[in-house]
Every structure is written in structure tokens, then in C-alpha cells.
Amino acid sequence: MQEGGEPQGIEVASKRPLFGASADELRAWIAEQGHKPYRAKQIQQWAFHRRAKTFADMTDVPLDLRKKLDAEWTLFATELAYRGIADDGTDKLLLRCRDGRNIECVSMSDPPRRTVCISTQVGCGMGCVFCASGLKGVERNLTSAEIFDQVLQAQSLLPPGESITHVVVMGMGESLANLDNLLVALDRFCSPEDGLGMSQRRVTISTVGLPAKIRKLAGMDRQYHLAVSLHAPTEALRDELVPVNEKVGLAAVMAAADEYFQITGRQVTYEYVLLGGVNDRREHATALGKLLKGRKAHVNLIPYNTVAGLPFQRPEPDDVRRFVETVRRFGVAVTVRRTKGREIDAACGQLRRRLEAPSEPVAIGSRP
């Protein structure tokens, strides 16, 4: 199923996204309007749990306050420009920012889990040669409101009774390159008072491996899970597949990941996209096993999801099985990620902020 339509225009640029303000700022603004600060909690309940589309929907909020909210604020920081729903329940949203740039996020259903994969940048500057997100480079970091809004948008589209249970920061962009804005958004989202109250342990931050930023995150007293996008077990091969490695170095990435585990006690996941005939041979599996042997680590193998215009191929199932068996011989835990949303280009590595031609035009921002 696909939904979309011609843009109807982002709301007046002078309006401030509601969740671009801190909870304290919102309460202070409400008090300035002559209302009790507890009204902020009512508004948050409407946004998160009662799926309000507009401030007018918030019927137990005083009418004059709703009018003032509508005059000065927007409920969403982005606008829904396209929605694609796969047969497996994966829901891809293309969101239009207030400056007209596009980003994508993906909501995945695996009952009782409901996970949303969010982006942190418009595009990506890391240059991984097999990934669609960086084909046009990076344009800018997302604001904390734009990061937060992806969860809000995904939550608002869920069926009654369902809620977002997990967040993975694995969409467009290098997460740690926008760490400050990301943490503002995630901390607000995990707040029991001013967000959904999700446990930090249900949030995973993925990075291609920026050692200084990994150490910074480790020292910030959070319990977010760290996933390192490894993709190659040797310096030479990683230089080819992940160009930023030439400046960073695999050894430095591994040392920073080790430090993250030592400080936080959180096991590090190593993501490894299997490219047919490129990094999926027995010698690669052996090198990966040796690299991770003795570390408290988990490998998440991701069979490549093809991207139009790129030369890489998905590995053969037998090659995947042999790779898993070889790595496990070194005592390393391995799982193979189940592909979801590939038919709508919503699988890992396929997000590219492209507005598809919809087969069933609907009004932008419409909610089923």
C-alpha cells in the first residue's frame, strides 16, 4: 500500500514546533498565558496517547489556550509527504521538514514489539559504498524537534491500543555526528514525566564508529545500547567499504567500543552487512571471529538489501549459513537480521529520502 500526494505546504515557519521546546519552557509559556502548568501534561497526553492531529482535538484543554497554541505552535515539526506499507506491516514514512527537505523513518511490527527506526541527518556524509542514504551526501543535521517528531509521527499512525516499544537510531545519517540534538530528543522521549516513559535500555544508537563521540556518549550516564556498523573485519577491506575508516582506523573504533562496554556495562552489537562475494567469504568470517573473540559482543548480520544503481548483490543463503557457523566457532554470538520492508525500500540501507509516485493520492498528513 502506498499513500502520498502533492505537498500542501509546511505550516507557517514562524510557528515553533511544540516539542522543540523543553518541558519546562512549555510549562512556563502556558503559565504566561494565565493557565496552570499542569496543562502541559494534558497536551503531552493528547500527543502521545490520544493521537491528536491538531490542537483543536484536545477537547479538555481550555478553548482559549487551544487557540493560543494554534497561533504560536505546531504539533508536528514535520509533515507527512508519503507513506508506504509493506505486506509484513512495515510502515515507511517520508517526512517533509519545514525547509522542504525530506527525511525517512520506518515503523516495524513484531508483536508485542513495535519499533521505530529514526534518522538524525538529511542524508549521510560517511560514504559507505553500499548504502542509499549517503548517495547525495549530507545536507544538514536534524534538529532535536525533527528527530523527536519521527517517533511522534509513527506513534500517531499506530492502531488503537498499540504503542512504540523500542527506538533504533539506524535511519539516515551518522547518529553520533549529531549527538547533542539526538540526546535531547531521546532523553525527552524516555522521560516518564514529559515523554512516553520508555526505558533507555530499549533504545539503540547505531554508529559507523566515531571514537571520540563513542567515549563522550559512554561518559554521559545513559543506558542507551550501542551498535557499531563494522561491515569488515580488517583495516584494508573496511577502508574500501567504509571510507571514513581511512581517517579513523578499525583499531581505534574497537578500543572505543571496548571502553563503552567497560563504562556502561552494556554489551556492544556489531552490525555487519553481508555483500555477496565481497565480505561474506570464509576468510572474512574467520577474521571477524578472531577480531571479536574474548569480547562481550554480539554480531548482527544483515544480508544486503539491493539498491538501484549500486553494484552489490545479496549473498547466497548457503554463504550466510557458513559465515554464521564460522564466526560462532570463536565463541561469538551471532544472529541474522530478518529483512522487513524490502518491497517498499524500507529495509536497512535503502532509505534515500525519495518521494515515490503514489498509486493512491491522499492529502498530505492524512491519518487513516
- Residue 348 annotated among the catalytic residues of the structure: yes
pLDDT in tens, 180-220: 999 999 999 999 988 889 999 999 999 999 999 999 999 99
Give the residues across from 234 on adjacent strands.
none
pLDDT digits over 340-359, tens only? Answer: 544 544 444 444 445 543 33
Determine which one of 104, 146, 174, 271 is catalytic: 104
pLDDT at 13: 61
Q: Cα(202)–Cα(195) distance, rounded to whole angstroms?
A: 14
pLDDT for position 148: 96
Strands 166-169 vs 113-117: parallel, antiparallel or unpaired: parallel
Question: For the residues 63-70, what does the mean pLDDT come to?
Answer: 97
Amino acid identity of 156?
S
Catalytic residue among 117, 124, 131, 348: 348
If pLDDT is split at 50, 70 and 90, which confidence band does 308 have? confident
At 288, phi and psi to the nearest 5?
-65, -45
Pick the CATH number of 2-6+18-74 from 1.10.150.20, 3.40.50.410, 1.10.150.530, 1.20.58.710: 1.10.150.530
Paired with 83 in beta bridges are 3, 93
Domains 2-6+18-74 and 79-344 share a fold: no
Residue 12, pLDDT score:
52
Q: Cell for 228? A: 557499531
Report how far residue 53's alpha carbon sits from residue 63's, in angstroms, rounded to the nearest whole number: 16
What is the tens place of the pLDDT at every residue in 113-169?
A: 999 999 999 999 999 999 888 788 899 999 999 999 999 999 999 888 889 999 999
Return the pLDDT at 346.
Answer: 42
Does residue 34 have a pLDDT over 90?
yes
What is the CB-side half-sphere exposure of residue 230 using CA atoms within 13 A?
A: 32
Which CATH homologous superfamily contains domain 79-344?
Answer: Aldolase class I (3.20.20.70)
Q: What is the mean pLDDT of residues 102-110?
A: 93
User: Is 117 a residue of the active site?
Assistant: no
Domain edges within the chain: 2-6+18-74, 79-344
Strands of 166-169's sheet, edge to edge?
Answer: 2-4, 79-85, 91-96, 102-110, 113-117, 166-169, 203-207, 225-229, 268-274, 297-303, 333-336
- Which H/E stretch holds residue 227? strand 225-229
Query: What pLDDT does residue 53 have?
Result: 92
* Exposure of 34 in the CB half-sphere (CA atoms within 13 A): 6
